[in-house]
């Protein structure tokens, strides 16, 4: 009976400690958005390489984020829903330090799609991971 009681106490302690570590939190915010492609003129000398070292391929759903959004939870590989677009996008790139409160949606090699997107304010939703 004592070993069963100890086991129950251990399990309860694990649940209590887990709760203290925090839970994921859904964040919704408005940001400026633009679109970019893998053109040297729009990126760097390595147009298919994201700032975290990920290979960017036409057809993937990814975004670059302004660096001020990273501490707010938009870290590498965070899944993001973007108002007006289907599915989830992964954070795979960082923007130049001059940008704030902004995302850049990856359009592969489709310059026309990027131009059509233009610049708009969108609402994004993502899960901020607990620390």
Could you tell me which residue, 81 or 18, shows the higher pLDDT?
Answer: 81
Phi-psi region of 73 (alpha: psi -120 to 50; beta: other; left: phi over 0): left
Task: Say what the pTM is.
Answer: 0.78
Query: What are the φ/ψ torsions at residue 26 (nearest 5 degrees)?
Result: -75, 125
Instruction: For the chain, give the mean pLDDT.
Output: 87
* More confident of the two residues 72 and 130: 72
Specify burial of residue 110 (Cβ count, 10 A radius: 0-12, 13-18, 19+). Answer: middle
* Highest mean predicted confidence (pLDDT) among 10-19, 21-30, 105-114: 105-114
């Amino acid at each position: 009976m004592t070993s069963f009681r100890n086991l129950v106490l251990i399990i309860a302690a694990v649940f209590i400690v887990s709760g203290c570590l925090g839970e994921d939190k859904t964040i919704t915010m408005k940001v400026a958005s633009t679109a970019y492609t893998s053109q040297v003129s729009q990126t760097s000398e390595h147009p298919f390489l994201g700032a975290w070292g990920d290979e960017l391929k036409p057809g993937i759903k990814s975004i670059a984020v302004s660096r001020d959004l990273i501490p707010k939870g938009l870290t590498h590989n965070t899944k993001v829903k973007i108002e007006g677009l289907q599915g989830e996008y992964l954070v795979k790139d960082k923007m130049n330090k001059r940008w704030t409160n902004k995302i850049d949606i990856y359009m592969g090699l489709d310059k026309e799609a990027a131009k059509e997107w233009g610049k708009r304010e969108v609402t994004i939703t993502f899960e901020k991971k607990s620390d």
